[in-house]
Amino acid sequence: MRGRSSILGASLAAALAIVAARAPAAGAAPESQERVIAVTAERFKFTPAVIELRAGETVVLEITSLDRKHGFQVPDLNVDESIEPGKVTRVRVTAAKAGTIPFHCSVFCGSGHEEMAGEIVVRP
């Protein structure tokens, strides 16, 4: 029996070493993981109002309304989402080239609605 248990122990140790070698380092993110940016919407602003990313980078915007229904529209990227209070709306955005892309609230939310806007700044 002693020979069998030492073979099992050696096999288990080898299997654990292989798994540990293949696992990413603690705290390391897989390269394919998209960056997530939290955005809040409330009368009459988005926070942050300026979202920065690199050309070709895909980010996920997690947008939450703090007060009422809003919209998140980015015409240049064909994005038009409804933002419901208490829910997170996930929007995947990829900008192909450097520049500034405006976004705004697309659901009327009161007398300051026209000012509820921001921009995505895309760096090369």
Closest CA to 121 of 39, 34, 55: 55
- Evaluated on CA atoms 37, 40, 45, 48, the torsion sign reads negative
Q: What is the pLDDT of residue 12?
A: 41
Q: What is the pLDDT of residue 23?
A: 45
> SS3 for 5-45, per residue?
HHHHHHHHHHHHHHHHHHCCCCCCCCCCCCEEEEEEEECCE
Q: What is the pLDDT along the chain (124 residues), one digit of tens a residue?
A: 555 544 444 444 444 344 444 444 444 444 568 999 999 999 999 999 999 999 999 999 999 999 999 999 999 999 999 999 999 999 999 999 999 999 999 999 999 999 999 999 999 9
Q: What is the pLDDT of residue 65?
A: 97
Helix (H, G, I), strand (E, B) or coil at 96: coil
Q: What is the pLDDT of residue 19?
A: 40
Q: What is the pLDDT of residue 16?
A: 39
Structure tokens at 59: 């980010």
Q: Which residue type, as a one-letter code, is found at position 91?
A: V
Q: What is the pLDDT of residue 8?
A: 42
Separation of alpha carbons 90 and 44, rounded Å = 20
Q: What is the pLDDT of residue 1?
A: 52
Separation of alpha carbons 92 and 61, rounded Å = 6
